Amino acid sequence: MKKEARYLFPSDYMADPSVHVFNDRIYIYPSHDWECANVENDNGDQYVMKDSHVLSTDDPMHGEVIDHGKALDIADIPWAGRQLWDSDVAEKDGKYYLYFPLKDKTDIFRIGVAVGDRPEGPFIPQPDPIRGSYSIDIAVLKEGEDYYMYFGGIWGGQLQRYKDNKALEIPELPEGDQPALPSRVVKLSKDMLQFAEEPRPVLVVDENGEPLKANNPHRFFEASWVHKYNGKYYFSYSTGDTHMLCYAVGDNPYGPFTYQGVILTPVVGWTTHHSIVEYKGKWYLFHHDSVPSGGKSWLRSLKVVELEYDENGKIITIDGGGEW
């Protein structure tokens, strides 16, 4: 379905939006794209993000979008190496916790935490990354008194370098009929600064309960997000090199999640990364594409479109406008 869409912040290149409603206002936490001379590759060296901003609005389709300025800068993070990629924020007891993936000084992605008193920041980073953390693409779900972090991305996101939460000497990326490499989920500690347990795999299964295979175009690649609708947990994600947003549905935050369909067909640009949020009785899909930059995959622009469900709770597929 072709729907009205809006570019949220045309004055700068931002991507990977994580979106939440705080204090009856939409807050958007994107990564910040920069022009670079790096050659595009599967490690993502062309994505050189150095800082992140916070945007907000009270009308996502037509209202003013405010840039609250820089929320976090790589120069302020003690353990930083390079590439401050996508982030997400959770609120607890009046504090706001910004979780971000960043390569350390050995070029390994870790997950850090920065803490603020307001949803727009500023956020003060902790001196060290979360113990036992790895990979990219963070999303945090609040469920009662508990908070669950979803993370992981293959290729440049380095998820294939880990098995059972231990680093591998030789990366293992499933192929063919092997089960696809899954995202991860972990409950956060009460102070929101560490993992409370070992991360678990997030299984996306078919109608027979079998994990999707590595050669399935709808398998997980990166960009986890979870929202609830009619009491069900909707786990959505990017398929990466097949350029779609897909989703699966489960009965609890850990899954398994049964594959349901495509949310967004390919966009202009290589990556698709998103969040789904309800605001004032309507649902919205926040994502990005590379139309304004003329198709440069490393210069992406934030976009929003209304999302709808059918009478059975299935998400109605949205046309992304790209071709692959």
Contacts of 145 (CB under 8 A, 6+ apart): none
User: Would you state the pLDDT for residue 1?
Assistant: 64
Average pLDDT over every residue of 30-47: 70
User: Would you state the pLDDT for residue 232?
Assistant: 98
Average pLDDT over every residue of 172-176: 95
pLDDT of 40 higher than 60:
yes
pLDDT of 206 higher than 80:
yes
Nearest to 302 by CA among 275, 283, 322: 275
The pLDDT tens digits of the residues spanning 94-120 come to 999 999 999 999 999 999 999 999 999
The C-alpha atoms of residue 202 and residue 183 are separated, in whole angstroms, by 5
Averaged pLDDT score across all residues of the chain: 93
Confidence grade of residue 320 (pLDDT, cut at 50, 70, 90): very high
pLDDT of 141 higher than 90:
yes
Confidence grade of residue 319 (pLDDT, cut at 50, 70, 90): very high
Tally DSSP H helices, then E strands, for the chain: 0, 24
Between residues 91 and 273, which one has the greater pLDDT?
91
Active site residues: 16, 222
As a whole-number percent, the residues of the chain with pLDDT over 90 amount to 85
User: Would you state the pLDDT for residue 252?
Assistant: 96
State which amino acid sits at residue 274: H
Which superfamily does CATH assign the domain made up of 5-307 to?
Answer: Glycosyl hydrolase domain; family 43 (2.115.10.20)
In the chain the first and final C-alpha atoms are separated, in Å, by 17
Confidence grade of residue 79 (pLDDT, cut at 50, 70, 90): very high
| pTM of the predicted structure, to 2 decimals | 0.95
Nearest to 65 by CA among 97, 33, 17: 17
As a whole-number percent, the residues of the chain with pLDDT over 70 amount to 96
The answer to whether 13 touches 20, Cβ cutoff 8 Å, is: no
Alpha helices in the chain (DSSP H): none
Backbone angles phi, psi at 309, to 5 degrees: -115, 155
Other C-beta atoms lying within 10 Å of the C-beta of residue 299:
21
The pLDDT tens digits of the residues spanning 272-292 come to 899 999 999 999 999 999 999
Three-state DSSP state, 53: strand
Structural domain boundaries of the chain? 5-307
